[in-house]
Structure 1
């Protein structure tokens, strides 16, 4: 496994070592694809946008100033390309009708229920629940929880204000927990308080 910094590889590429770019692609291809697929909801399109992201990043690498992390810069390219695709398709996100009155107790029940599931099954359920969110909600959840980007980085990637991101992330999280809770209720998998 390669432990050199992104900047090390960027410097090598800019010095003429084109093969060094393969290391950056390998390092970030799964993250980029995950972000894109949760926005565009189409595997072929997601693969195409991910490839376009890496091509654009390569062609623009000399302009990368290092003011943000390379990963954030890459996510910004992927995010904008995904938005461009969605705008071109004029695709409307289908909002999920969800009761916004969630309590910390319900959220804790969901967390506890998930601990009882096999890891693979849990990941599949979470993935399916995220795909029921709007493209914007899915991208925010992905960036914050799966890519572990902070609010400032997400703001840089999406162009939204930090306060707007916090509000949207809060709402998205509520929707996701409600979707997960409804899955467990329908499957009779949520344990009662005494069983936890």
Structure 2
């Protein structure tokens, strides 16, 4: 029986010293996989911690006859990385929704008169229709379909930076066109 096999059996039996050896032996691999995928050191450290806590808590599900301990840890790592990506995407969607909502709220002034609010929404829709086709599609996906910048880039096959540029320029254009002047209307 090899050292790895003995270590795997000790780990599966709940030997805390085996856990320390497992961590020493494979924590760098787990961290490196997480860092390469996530690109963020703090998130990678969180994933590494979750992997080893999860492995220890779920050691009853580890079967040394089915796979080696390293392969099992890599499997757990892949799941934890996927969870981290999902959490990041949820955070980004929430942040973008807050920013998008704040921008649209700034564009459409709050009024008690429901008719005025409907008229303003129609003005915004009309201004969106004046945009070029690609920026118009980007804005509609961002604000009406509630897609993230990355999702828009994937949907339209555009680079992420291009999507962000279209949104930024379109918002500036919309704001400029929709700003209310204090001067009286003169035909």
TM-score band by shorter chain is 0.3 to 0.5
Q: TM-score, normalised by structure 1?
A: 0.42
- Structure with the higher fraction of residues in helix conformation: 2
Q: TM-score, normalised by structure 2?
A: 0.44
Rg larger in 1 or in 2? 2
Compare relative contact order (CA 8 Å, sep 6+) and give the higher one, 1 or 2.
1
